[in-house]
Structure 1
């Protein structure tokens, strides 16, 4: 009878450990899903930032070219006759207006100032997403090791392995929570700026 009681306790322990494994697997799936979403967002925002900075550079080059042309043409005014002087002055004014407009175009969001602000915004989202990704990945690793330990506890009947698995599971939950709620609060892998 005592053997039966011992077997019942052993089976109950296994059920608890099996339940722990199921819960860890659920959190592992959530962490992996979060990691994939954060990674995708980081890649998307990185591409967006690169495109915006390229557009910013193109605007800068175009602005510099137009300003240089206006300055060069202003020198030509000195030797120009009155009819040509009027045409050159109009062209210089047009170039200078364009250069000024390209510096800031709030209506279109395509001025250099607006492009720089948009690029910085995309970089901020990218950085936050990468920080979240790292937390999710480390949380996933904690869940995986916890599952291995809890599984080993069932096979070896060593309760300490279940306890260690539970502790690692809590660590995984904490890391996944940080990734979701405040990914930049704790910097992993030298991710601080």
Structure 2
């Protein structure tokens, strides 16, 4: 009875042992892909939430601006009326109303105790926009990572079928690049591009 020589790959390793290693590589790449998809989805949801927050804050800013303009116009008109009033009781009542409106206008402009004056709203809206931009950059990087890992899985799978070790090493390289970009997405999402 003739002995059958085991199949060997280009680097003279038995095929089943190499295939197990490539299968392990594919499993690791799939795990990284899962983490990448989760990270990307979280970044996308955070970017959307921060965009909504920024939009709401800018709308509130606009409402305060409109209210302030309306009161300023009314106060200006009432000051004209005050100039023509001769009755001291009417003048006092008009002045009291004008002073109240001016105090409200000042409160609309800056209200540090509630953080809802126009000045404070600008700062809050810009901060939400900055967080949105960071999350958006993180999401963009995770999209690239997912693509790299998917290609790495396909190339590594082709290595099992063809027995070409270079394909497996290409999968390792793409996986390492994806992992590096995933780390960058978490620690420095606005770096690179």
Q: Normalization by structure 1: what TM-score? A: 0.93
TM superposition shift of 1:116: 1.0
Map of 1:191 onto structure 2: none
Question: Which structure has the highest helix share of the two?
Answer: 1
Map of 2:39 onto structure 1: 34
Query: 2:133 and 2:76 mapped to 1: Cα distance?
Result: 41
TM superposition shift of 1:5: 7.2
Select which of 100, 111, 118 maps to 2:117: 111
Query: 2:157 and 2:95 mapped to 1: Cα distance?
Result: 83
The equivalences for 1:161-172 within 5 A come to: 161-172=167-178
Map of 2:161 onto structure 1: 155
Map of 1:129 onto structure 2: 135
Residue 87 in structure 1 maps to residue 90 in structure 2: no
The equivalences for 1:176-187 within 5 A come to: 176-187=182-193
Gaps of 5+ in 2: none
TM superposition shift of 1:4: 2.9
Q: Which moved more, 1:114-123 or 1:142-151?
A: 114-123
Gaps of 5+ in 1: 188-193
Query: 2:165 and 2:19 mapped to 1: Cα distance?
Result: 10
Give the 3-state SS of the residue equivalent to 1:11 in structure 2. Answer: helix
State the number of aligned residues: 187
Deviations 1:110-150 (A, max 9, x none): 11111111111111110000000011110010000000000
- Higher Rg: 2
Select which of 19, 26, 33 maps to 1:14: 19
TM superposition shift of 1:6: 3.4
Aligned alpha-carbon RMSD (Å): 1.4
